[in-house]
């Protein structure tokens, strides 16, 4: 496969399956710690964006981003453990995987697992009968989602701070 064909295949897969496209990309190999830090940095940047959306009272988007931020933070930890391709969107399953490395992560499950329920209904009107996500997801829901997200994000950040030289 030549360079042009590789690029076309990468773009084709990027739209079909983002994770598979990344697996085929020819991006510089990072150490596991570096790759984890990249994911953590993106989670932190998304958290800043979530705050801006909160201030703009876009609570449905804040709830969605809370799920996404939590997902990225957990994936950051898993990449730092040496996992090469971390797929899946379920917070519950990601926490379980993190718990295989450190059982303390399992204590996050009762609070964080419900974030899985924010992945679709926060964005699609057909997921919310007789309403739209912008009307259903309110300030209290966004506050709660961000509190949970911040707990997970803090746990992962603390791990990276303690393991800075790996």
Q: Quick one: 67 and 133 in the same domain?
A: yes
pTM of the predicted structure, to 2 decimals: 0.82
Q: Quick one: 77 and 54 in the same domain?
A: yes
Structural domain that includes position 39 = 31-162
Mean pLDDT in residue range 100-108: 98
pLDDT digits (tens, 9 = 90+) for 26-62: 556 899 999 999 999 999 999 999 999 999 999 999 9
Q: Quick one: 77 and 126 in the same domain?
A: yes
Q: Quick one: 23 and 35 in the same domain?
A: no
Q: Quick one: 55 and 10 in the same domain?
A: no
Sign of the Cα pseudo-torsion (138, 139, 145, 149, in order): positive
- Mean pLDDT over all residues of the chain? 90
Q: How far apart are CA 66 and CA 18, in angstroms?
A: 20
């Amino acid at each position: 496969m030549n360079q042009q064909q590789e690029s076309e295949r990468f773009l084709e897969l990027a739209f079909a399956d983002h994770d598979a496209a990344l697996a085929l990309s020819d991006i510089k190999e990072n150490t596991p710690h570096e790759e984890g830090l990249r994911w953590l940095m993106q989670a932190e940047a998304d958290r800043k964006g979530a705050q801006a959306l909160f201030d703009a009272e876009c609570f449905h988007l804040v709830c969605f981003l809370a799920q996404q931020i939590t997902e990225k933070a957990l994936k950051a930890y898993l990449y730092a453990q040496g996992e090469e391709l971390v797929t899946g969107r379920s917070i519950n399953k990601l926490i379980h995987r993190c718990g295989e490395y450190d059982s303390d992560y399992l204590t996050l499950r009762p609070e964080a697992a419900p974030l899985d329920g924010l992945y679709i209904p926060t964005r699609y009107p057909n997921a919310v009968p007789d309403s739209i996500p912008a009307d259903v997801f309110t300030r209290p829901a966004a506050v709660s989602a961000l509190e949970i997200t911040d707990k997970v994000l803090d746990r992962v950040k603390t791990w990276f701070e303690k393991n800075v030289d790996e």
